[in-house]
């Protein structure tokens, strides 16, 4: 197989920023500032790059030759998001000011009807930065302890205590910011008391417990570092004649802050939850004296925004809005999260074991802010100036992103050589586009490069963007198949507001969202 050849652009840029075939540390600094958009790049920054390249044996003492420069651009040291950026959003605002990485039925290993329940998907979610874990809790078969399972299905249960212990162990491996456990509660009062005991004994001082009072404002992620919060509806009198008939798909009853049974259980609830009564308009009424979490299904939010978009956005200024998949998604698929995000919903609950473009979008959103699971909402969704964002209003174009798709490589190393075609090299094409508010959404496609493991497209696309804060760059590669469905060959999704300009090596992921070892695209990003 022939070695990858630098694109014409890369050769031209090397000639511009080198002397006698060598790019010195000063040349590299100038390239970083002028082409890569790193205006504050210092000679020390450039030297750090050269030192890193020296360890990879692609650096000569005097500087970089063209081959070394190309390998640097197409290597792991040049990603599209800045790995040094880390957590950089203001983390001192109330929880309601953030999009929060949220799981749905976090204990399921597969589909919603017959898969096993386990703590393994909970552990995996926490390792990936998910900050909201949902557990459905039911009496066990002997009614003397608590199981986690998807009620009225064939899912095999897992012990509640086992899930709690796994949450404690893995809560902060990916992020120090708070973990919220949302409980869909189907327990009797005595088992609610047992649940309170299990939670208290497992988490101890890690628990954030405001006591009997409903909060008037949510604390900040910064103030809740390494803390665990419980969110559920306050305990109700147990209805022996079919406890869960009064629950919606996600088992949530109306919120009440009055007296009840199981006082210890109530005391643990940091975020009071409920679905409210009446239509969406009534449910999103704001109570100035307390904050709460409201749950709506994807169908309810779709219908609700048609008539109550203003009220929904206003509700999310102080309160938490959770959107969960409709009950017919038995295959653990997900919905487009953008409608919910556009209207300020912080908790877009996703089936993390269900793959597809919607989950890739979720991965993309939460690559922002150092992958900590909390992404600050845009200012226009926070209501600071007393105004409420109107998602239906015409918005001017704020920026245009020009994307150059140069080439790709790595499939030869990461895939069986007969994976795409039995007798010939693959025929790759790339799809690039924006997902965001409806007016920004657009996908474009390169030509297909036949019979080549290292496709070179060298195509340029432009995308006008009105709301970059909610926009994601979606990238897919497929292998053209004349007689059957085109084969998947990699994908990624990147937050526009953290995308670095310049020539970057973009690693691609599998359908499950796991990064390939070698597969990447060489691309250029320019904002104007």
Could you give the CA distance from residue 506 to residue 477 in angstroms, rounded to a whole number? Answer: 12
Q: Which residues of 52-69 are buried (b: 16+ CB within 10 A; e: fewer)?
A: ebeeeebbeeebbbbebb
φ, ψ dihedrals at 146, nearest 5°: -125, 130
Q: If you search the block for the tokens 């497209």, which residue do you land on?
A: 457
Could you give the CA distance from residue 481 to residue 395 in angstroms, rounded to a whole number? Answer: 40
150: annotated active-site residue: yes
Of 27, 97, 150, 478, the catalytic one is 150
How many other β-carbons are positioned within 10 Å of the β-carbon of residue 282? 11
317: annotated active-site residue: no
Of 104, 308, 317, 363, the catalytic one is 104
Contact predicate 452/410, CB 8 Å: no
What do you get for the CA distance between the two ends of the chain, in Å?
Answer: 38
The three-class DSSP label of residue 72 is helix
Q: If you search the block for the tokens 């390249």, which residue do you land on?
A: 53
Could you give the CA distance from residue 520 to residue 265 in angstroms, rounded to a whole number? Answer: 50
How many other β-carbons are positioned within 10 Å of the β-carbon of residue 448? 16
Could you give the CA distance from residue 304 to residue 289 in angstroms, rounded to a whole number? Answer: 24
How do strand 347-350 and strand 102-103 relate by DSSP bridges?
Answer: parallel
Which tokens in the block code for residue 46? 């450039």
The three-class DSSP label of residue 36 is coil
* Helical packing angle, 66-73 and 43-55, nearest 10°: 90
Active-site residues, by number, are 104, 150
């Amino acid at each position: 197989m022939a070695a990858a050849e630098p694109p014409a652009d890369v050769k031209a840029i090397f000639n511009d920023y080198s002397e006698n075939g060598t790019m010195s540390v000063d040349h590299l600094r100038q390239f970083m500032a002028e082409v890569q958009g790193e205006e504050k790049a210092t000679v020390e920054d450039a030297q750090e790059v050269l030192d890193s390249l020296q360890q990879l044996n692609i650096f000569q003492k005097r500087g970089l030759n063209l081959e070394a420069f190309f390998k640097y651009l197409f290597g792991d040291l040049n990603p599209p998001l800045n790995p040094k950026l880390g957590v950089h959003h203001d983390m001192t605002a109330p929880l309601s000011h953030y999009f929060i990485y949220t799981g749905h039925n976090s204990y399921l290993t597969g589909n919603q009807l017959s898969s096993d329940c386990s703590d393994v998907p909970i552990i995996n979610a926490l390792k990936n930065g998910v900050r909201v874990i949902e557990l459905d809790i039911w009496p066990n078969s002997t009614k003397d302890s608590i199981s986690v399972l998807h009620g009225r299905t064939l899912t095999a249960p897992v012990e509640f205590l086992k899930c709690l212990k796994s949450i404690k162990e893995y809560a902060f491996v990916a992020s120090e910011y708070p973990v919220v456990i949302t409980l869909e509660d189907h327990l009797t009062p005595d088992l609610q008391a047992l649940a309170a005991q299990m939670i208290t004994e497992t988490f101890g001082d890690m628990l954030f417990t405001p006591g009997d009072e409903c909060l008037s404002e949510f604390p900040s992620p910064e103030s809740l570092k390494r803390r665990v919060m419980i969110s559920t509806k306050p305990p109700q009198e147990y209805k022996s004649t079919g406890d869960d008939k009064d629950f919606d798909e996600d088992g949530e009853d109306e919120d009440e802050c009055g007296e009840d049974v199981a006082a210890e259980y109530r005391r643990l609830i940091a975020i009071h939850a409920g679905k409210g009564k009446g239509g969406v308009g009534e449910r999103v009424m704001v109570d100035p004296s307390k904050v709460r979490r409201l749950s709506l299904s994807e169908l309810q939010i779709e219908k609700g925004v048609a008539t109550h978009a203003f009220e929904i956005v206003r509700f999310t200024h102080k309160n938490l809005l959770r959107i969960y998949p409709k009950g017919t998604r038995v295959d653990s698929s997900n919905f487009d999260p953008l409608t919910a995000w556009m209207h300020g919903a912080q908790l877009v609950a996703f089936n993390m074991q269900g793959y597809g473009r919607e989950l890739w979008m979720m991965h993309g959103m939460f690559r922002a802010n150092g992958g900590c699971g909390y992404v600050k909402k845009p200012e226009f969704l926070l209501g600071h100036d007393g105004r409420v964002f109107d998602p239906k209003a015409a918005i001017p174009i704020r920026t245009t992103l020009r994307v150059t798709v140069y080439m790709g490589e790595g499939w030869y190393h990461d895939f069986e050589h007969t994976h795409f075609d039995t007798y010939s090299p693959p025929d790759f094409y790339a799809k690039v586009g924006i997902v965001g508010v409806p007016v920004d959404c657009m996908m474009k496609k390169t030509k297909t490069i036949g019979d080549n493991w290292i496709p070179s497209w060298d195509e340029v696309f432009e995308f006008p963007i009105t709301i970059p804060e909610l926009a994601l760059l979606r990238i897919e590669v497929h292998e053209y198949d004349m007689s059957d469905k085109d084969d998947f060959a990699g994908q990624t999704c990147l937050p526009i507001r953290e995308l670095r300009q310049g020539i970057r090596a973009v690693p691609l992921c599998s359908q499950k969202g796991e990064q390939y070892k070698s597969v990447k695209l060489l691309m250029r990003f320019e904002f104007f």
